Structure 1
Amino acid sequence: MPVSDDRTCRTSVPPEGRPLRCAVVGLGFGRCHAEELARMDGADLVAVADLHPESQGLDLDAFSSRLGVRGYRDGLRMIADEELDAVVVAVPPRGRERLVRAAGDAGLAFFLEKPFATDDEHAEALARLCADYPSSPVMLDFCLRHLPAVARLRELLDGPLGRPLVVNADLMLPRDDSPAWVWDPADGNGIVNENTCHLFDTLGFLLGEPLSVHAEGGAYRTRSLEDGIAVAIRYDGGSAAVLTGGNLGVEALRTPVTLSVHTERGQARLTGRDHMFHSLTWATAEHTEPVHEEWDLPSRGRISAAALRHFVQSVGAGVPPVPGVREGVRAVRLAMAVRESLATGTPVAVTCAGPRC
């Protein structure tokens, strides 16, 4: 069964009827979050911040003026000066600790871009830091589980399709499409940790807790960190998944993404592009024709729209948003287990993440 977080969200919530006052730190992909929050009912974007906006090709004054918010070159200063309820932290993992601490000290909820951390040790340290702030709910931007097509598949697995048995999934980023920090072992720590983590979380949402990993592949083009992997994962309850990931794709195909699942009573297939599932075909053994369901595919920059909406609504209602720290730690552990399995050529056990272990 999928992992859930049943903690009580003890953060102060805005008075009924007042939008959640939000800010964004990090305006690489974070600018997409800022634009989404600026148009979202229930949210009030009040400020954005980036230490070096020019390195993002961004005119901070023009961007903040267009959104009608205040612009800062220091995220810590922004958190200190603004009256906020929540902050989006969209900076690479190495730069997060002080921002998380400042947001926690201010009692803010925070929405963290993936990956959660650089490696296992860093993930454990960040998890301990987040635990110091029980009044500050944390949500990871594993946005695929919030796409309507994936949410619908989850419903079907709990209904007519029944328990998932064997899954195949693929998400291959285009080559040469990632910023330098992704390949810094002390920061993004590779494309599997930074991007294939989307599949790790989606599979966890559908299948539950991973138990072991056996990986093949390697550093085909980078000659350093792995850039193409084929991985078999065993899950608690007996489900098995095979996934392929990395960044050996090409831009012309617009990052196709697929996931096929065979279940106790049927099968289903998710497809899409630009990282996003938008089409679902399914049937049980009793169906004579497949059922096809499809949703409008948003622009790539709006991939996190549903996840941000869940965050805003959950925090506003005083309930914990998901996925949280536990799922963030789990994705990092899977990425590091993949690396260990590649090095040893053997399966690697994956320890459980979170307080239930």
Structure 2
Amino acid sequence: MAEAVEVFGDGFREDPYGVYARLRAEGSVHRVALPDGSPVWLVTHEADVRAGLADGRFSVDKRHSRGGFQGFSLPPALDVNLLNVGPEDHLRLRRLVAQGFTPRHVERMRTAVQAAVDACADRLVARLEADGVADLVAEFAGPLPLKVIGDLLAVPEEAYERFAGWIGSMLLPRGREEPAGAVRNVHGFLVRLVADRRAAPGDDVLSGLIAARDRGDRLSEDELVSLAFLILMAGSETVQHLISGGLLTLLTHEEQLAALRERPELLPEAVEELFRYAVPNHTAIRRFPTEPVEIGGVRIPAGDTVLFSLASAHRDPARYPEPDRFDIGRADKAHLALGHGVHYCLGAPLARMQVTLALETLLRRLPGLRPAVPARELEWSTTFRFRALRALPVTGGGGARAGV
């Protein structure tokens, strides 16, 4: 078997898309080493990524792993979720969770989501008025999805600050020990939250899951807490990074931004292009072949770890003409940012709604908004798994309070 090569070093952090382009030119499937030395298979061509994500022979169940890289380490009580179970349990859990994320149910949330967007925008405007500059991540992109997901899970408002701090430590840690402590805190918090919702159920997703279990469904206590954790993490991370990275993309592509301001009805199209162009999750959840599988002309043994690169797939010229160009008028914007196949994101309608309402509100209320520092000075967190802004200093007046 070919030796795993290191590709995620300093050059990758500085220009990940350049590394993906080189890998695609050499072939679709590569044996690479993660920063900790773990060997994995990285799939880079769009056609193979799309096919692999829909291929049932690539399992997310760790029991099919031969002991290599298995992803983010979680305590067992948080690991019984849709991203780590076999097909039968996945279907059962997905059917239960899906009840709270149907397009019709999400559409009923529009007023509440817009209220959360307006509240975060008020916070951003107030900071701009006071200081002349504000961090869009801290004041807007970070708090918004946590507020929305907090409402879904009926998190008490007085717990938001602690809650947000723990999530921030998991998403963008400053040190190696920080995530483990945050996971322990979130786990304890969710266990207590489940107990509170059982004692006083409401009209929220968590209460619905509890009711399903208490009616005799096979949903275990660990599955309840794990599902709440997954909803929290999946609903916070991607949306936060899409808002911050999406806004930066718009602000640094003046012609596209001008076209969008001239025709605001194009915003849904722009959002889909942002999902393709600025996808923060560079790889899908790791997979393990249940049998030897050939993909891209390479035979991958059963049990090895496979990473399907969404970021590389989205810049593949074999699928997208001029893929490195951000173009809200692009004809083919069919992306993989929200998954494909049986693991397509249940929260996709809610993610689209949040990103669309967030960008519409920011562009409408802050027409003069612009980055406060040159792009080269922005601080990114870049790993083989995701690329996200740690902060986005912005400036520009002209803000208005919600409803004004």
Q: Which has the higher strand share?
A: 1
- TM-score using structure 1 length: 0.27
Q: Which has the higher helix share?
A: 2
Q: Which protein has greater RCO, CA pairs closer than 8 Å, 6+ apart?
A: 2
- TM-score using structure 2 length: 0.25
